[in-house]
C-alpha cells in the first residue's frame, strides 16, 4: 500500500519540490496551501508521476482549518505516514522596532501556531496508527540570530524546540520528528523578500561559503531522506542545509 504525505505550503517552493520528489518515490500527496492556484498546480504535477493527490485549501494559522486538512487526508487515504510541516512567511525585512503588531501576529500565527497545530493533529493520527515521520521547516535564522527577521527568527527557533520536545515525549510511540534549517534558497518567498531588500541578497550570497543560494530541489532531497525509512534512526535532529552559511557564524 502506498504511503501518504501531507505537505503544507505545498503550492510553491520547498513544498512543491518535495511533493514532486516524494511522488517519484510513489508517495500519495496531500497538498495544503492558502493558494488554490499553486495547490492545484502541484496536484497536477504529482499526478503526472502516477500517484494520487488532493488539494486542501487552508490558512494554517487557523486551528479549525488545520484540523480539517488532517481529517480530509484520513477520509481520502485512511492514514498519514509523512508530514512536511513547511508553510511559512518571512515578513517585511524591517528592523524589529519598525514592524507592526499586525505583522508580528501574522508571522507567529503562520510560522509557529500553524506548525504547532499541524503537529498536534497529525501526530495524533500517526501514533494511533503505529507511528510516522515529521519534518518541520526551521531556518538558518532558527539556529543563529539574524537582523531584519527578528519575529521570523523567533518562530523558527520555536520550531527547533517543537522538534526536540516532541521526540522527548513521543519517540517511544513510533514518532520521528526532525527539522531542516535551510539557508537562503531560491524559493518564491525568498525571491520576493530579496526583491524588496536587494542589499540583503548580496550580503547573504557573500556570506555563504559556496557563494550561491540553495535550490528547492536540493532541500527536497534532504526532506525526502528524513521522512522515509532510509532515516529510521535519525530523530530530533535539526539538519542545516545552507552551503556552510551558519558554519561561519
Describe the chain by its helix, strand, coil percentages, rounded to 5.
55, 15, 30
Domain 4-248 has CATH 2.40.70.10: no
Alpha carbon of residue 78 to chain centroid? 23
Q: Where are the domains of the chain?
A: 4-248
Q: CA gyration radius for the chain?
A: 17
Q: Return the exposure string of 41-79: e unless at least 16 CB atoms fall within 10 Å of the residue's CB, then b.
A: bbbebbeebebbbbbbbbebbeeebbbbbbebbbeebee
| pTM beyond cutoff 0.85 | yes
Print pLDDT tens along the chain (249 aa). 899 999 999 999 999 999 999 999 999 999 999 999 999 999 999 999 999 999 999 999 999 999 999 999 999 999 999 999 999 999 998 999 999 999 999 999 999 999 999 999 999 999 999 999 999 999 999 999 999 999 999 999 999 999 999 999 999 999 999 999 999 898 877 777 777 777 777 777 788 999 889 999 999 999 999 999 899 999 999 999 999 999 876
DSSP state of 186: -
Do residues 243 and 210 touch, judged by C-beta distance below 8 A? Answer: yes
Q: Per the structure block, which three cell numbers stand in for 5?
A: 504525505
C-beta neighbour count of 2 within 10 angstroms: 12
Q: Tell which phi-psi region holds residue 5, choosing left (phi > 0), alpha (psi between -120 and 50) or beta.
A: beta
Residue 82 annotated to the active site: no
Identified catalytic residue from 82, 117, 121, 152 = 152
Three-point CA angle 103, 140, 84, nearest 5°? 80
Amino acid at each position: 500500500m502506498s504511503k501518504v504525505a501531507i505537505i503544507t505550503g505545498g503550492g510553491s517552493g520547498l513544498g512543491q519540490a518535495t511533493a514532486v520528489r516524494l511522488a517519484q518515490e510513489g508517495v500519495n500527496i496531500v497538498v495544503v496551501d492558502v493558494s488554490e492556484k499553486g495547490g492545484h498546480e502541484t496536484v497536477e504535477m504529482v499526478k503526472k508521476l502516477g500517484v494520487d493527490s488532493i488539494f486542501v485549501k487552508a490558512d494554517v494559522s487557523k486551528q479549525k482549518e488545520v484540523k480539517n486538512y488532517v481529517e480530509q487526508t484520513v477520509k481520502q487515504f485512511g492514514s498519514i505516514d509523512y508530514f512536511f510541516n513547511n508553510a511559512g512567511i518571512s515578513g517585511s525585512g524591517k528592523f524589529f522596532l519598525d514592524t507592526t503588531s499586525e505583522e508580528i501576529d501574522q508571522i507567529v500565527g503562520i510560522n509557529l501556531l500553524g506548525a504547532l497545530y499541524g503537529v498536534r493533529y497529525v501526530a495524533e493520527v500517526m501514533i494511533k496508527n503505529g507511528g510516522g515521520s515529521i519534518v518541520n521547516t526551521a531556518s538558518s535564522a532558527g539556529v543563529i540570530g539574524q537582523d531584519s527577521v527578528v519575529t521570523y527568527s523567533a518562530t523558527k527557533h520555536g520550531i527547533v524546540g517543537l522538534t526536540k520536545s516532541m521526540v522527548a515525549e513521543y519517540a517511544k510511540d513510533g514518532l520521528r520528528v526532525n527539522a531542516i534549517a535551510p539557508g537562503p534558497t531560491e524559493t518564491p518567498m525568498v525571491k520576493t523578500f530579496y526583491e524588496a531588500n536587494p542589499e540583503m541578497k548580496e550580503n547573504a550570497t557573500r556570506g555563504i561559503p559556496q557563494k550561491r543560494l540553495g535550490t528547492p530541489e536540493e532541500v527536497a532531497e534532504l526532506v525526502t531522506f528524513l521522512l522515509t525509512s532510509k532515516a529510521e534512526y535519525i530523530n530530533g535532529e535539526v539538519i542545516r542545509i545552507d552551503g556552510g552559511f551558519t558554519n561561519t557564524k
